[in-house]
Amino acid sequence: MPESHSAKTQTDWLARAAKVLPAGGFGNFDPSIVVKEGRGGRVWDEDGKEYIDFLIGSGPMLVGHGHPEVLEAVTTQLSKGFTFFASNAAGIELAEVICDATPCAEQVRYVSTGSEADMYAMRLARAHTGRDLILKFEGGYHGMSGEALMSLAPQRLENFPQPVPDSAGIPQSVQDSVIVAPFNDTDFARSIIAEYADRLAGVIVEPLQRLIPPAPGFLEALREETTRHGLVLIFDEVVTGFRLAYGGGQELYGVTPDLCTLGKVIGGGFPMAAIAGKTEIMAHFDKNKVGEAGFTFQVGTLSGNPVAAVAGLKTLEILRRPGIYDGMRTTGKQIIAALEREAARVHVPAQVVGDPVLFDVVFTEAEVRDYRDVLAADADRLTLFNRGLREQGVLKAPNKFYACAAHSAADIASTVEAIATAADHLNTL
């Protein structure tokens, strides 16, 4: 029988994890930290060490850990049932809210993870066009499907549009179904779409790729070219949806795709993701409308489950309140200013890349426009900086700060102090 949770240190848990988990972790984040509890904008590890949390579950905890209103909604639902494998009112209402908020969304289909959502979006594009090829952008993250794991983080740089598999176990046939272009190169994107138009089903892109904002006119060009050639434009908004703005990246940048994928925020911390888009494309989920040949089969045991739905509904209600997004942007701007100021103080080449709600420092003098610019930056210095922040009680992803609505003035002040201390060691490499 498993040992009791009581009176165990983080070292004890790490030893136990090493026996039963590959690489000692879940495959998500640094396995050397075991989180015990989260409240608001902070988390505590199993040794009781407190951290200001800029990881926030890799994005979903946009209103903070254990928000009392979300907790109340979830607690009420738990007494009514966890999941039914059938439609429920909260899931229907959440779909209505998503359609009201998201420019491209006329209909919604639920899944449990962003990886599933992206996989099904690409499958819908193929069903709708009758073509097989997908165009993605080098460095773009679209989950864990075979197509998505093409040129996500290649260390071997091939000539475009040749993809590089990021994982063992992906068949050559999958590699042959994807072509790759550099993010933010408008001329290249136009030319590659025109060249492969008769084989392309769709183009999938993060409107803000990891941290890199779209160059002026880039997303507009993708919209123009996909429309011209009858392709499906997919915005992967699993990260950016309800984060960059209430209507996501498509609201912020003013470009409306045919489909988008959503996740993280819409489940309020519970497993929930979705494909949303035009009715004529979403109709491929309805065999009565498209027939056997056009039908895109999709089921999921927990898709649209009521616990995640009520958590998502309450989270989105909170996000609609006045001042929420302004507050998160203010938080981000204060931290960005500290990052820029401290890097300059210690004379280390650096720039902050991203948006005030989603950003990080990149240690390079060069302009950052695409994946290869990030790859050429000083990764060792970033690792050193992140370690320094962790020692000072600031938790973040390896390449990302997530601002959230629960970060307080005290959190920001402590983070600014931690940045200054961590910066003092940047020249020790």
The 3 state secondary structure assigned to the chain is CCCCCCCCCHHHHHHHHHHHCHHHCCCCCCCCCCEEEEEECEEEECCCCEEEECCHHHCCCCCCECCHHHHHHHHHHHCCCCCCCCCCHHHHHHHHHHHHHCCCCCEEEEECCHHHHHHHHHHHHHHHHCCCEEEEECCCCCCCCCCCCECCCCCCCCCCCCCCECCCCCCHHHHCCEEEECCCCHHHHHHHHHHHCCCEEEEEECCCECCECCCCCHHHHHHHHHHHHCCEEEEEECCCCCCCCCCHHHHHHCCCCCEEEECHHHHCCCCCEEEEECHHHHHHHCHHHHHHHHCCCCCCCCCCCHHHHHHHHHHHHHHCCCCHHHHHHHHHHHHHHHHHHHHHHCCCCCEEEEECCEEEEECCCCCCCCHHHHHCCCHHHHHHHHHHHHHCCEECECCEEECCCCCCHHHHHHHHHHHHHHHCCHHHC
108-127 mean pLDDT: 98
247-256 mean pLDDT: 98
**pLDDT band at residue 146 under the 50/70/90 scheme:** very high
Look at residue 4 and tell me whether its pLDDT is greater than 90: no
pLDDT tens readout for residues 38-83: 999 999 999 999 999 999 999 999 999 999 999 999 999 999 999 9
Q: What is the pLDDT of residue 352?
A: 98
Look at residue 6 and tell me whether its pLDDT is greater than 90: no
> What is the pTM (predicted TM-score) of this model?
0.96
Q: What is the pLDDT of residue 411?
A: 97
State yes or no: is 360 an active-site residue: no
pLDDT tens readout for residues 210-232: 999 999 999 999 999 999 999 99
State yes or no: is 120 an active-site residue: no
Look at residue 22 and tell me whether its pLDDT is greater than 80: yes
Residue 262 bridge partners (DSSP): 237, 274
181-189 mean pLDDT: 98
Write out the CATH class of domain 69-319.
Answer: alpha beta
Look at residue 354 and tell me whether its pLDDT is greater than 70: yes
**pLDDT band at residue 8 under the 50/70/90 scheme:** confident
Look at residue 5 and tell me whether its pLDDT is greater than 60: no
Q: What is the pLDDT of residue 428?
A: 82
Active-site position among 45, 185, 258, 264: 264
Active-site position among 51, 110, 120, 141: 141
Look at residue 393 and tell me whether its pLDDT is greater than 90: yes
Q: What is the pLDDT of residue 427?
A: 86
pLDDT tens readout for residues 397-411: 999 999 999 999 999
Domains in the chain: boundaries? 69-319, 323-351+364-382
State yes or no: is 236 an active-site residue: yes
**pLDDT band at residue 1 under the 50/70/90 scheme:** very low
Active-site position among 185, 236, 258, 378: 236
Percentage of the chain lying above the pLDDT 90 cut? 97
**pLDDT, mean over the chain:** 96
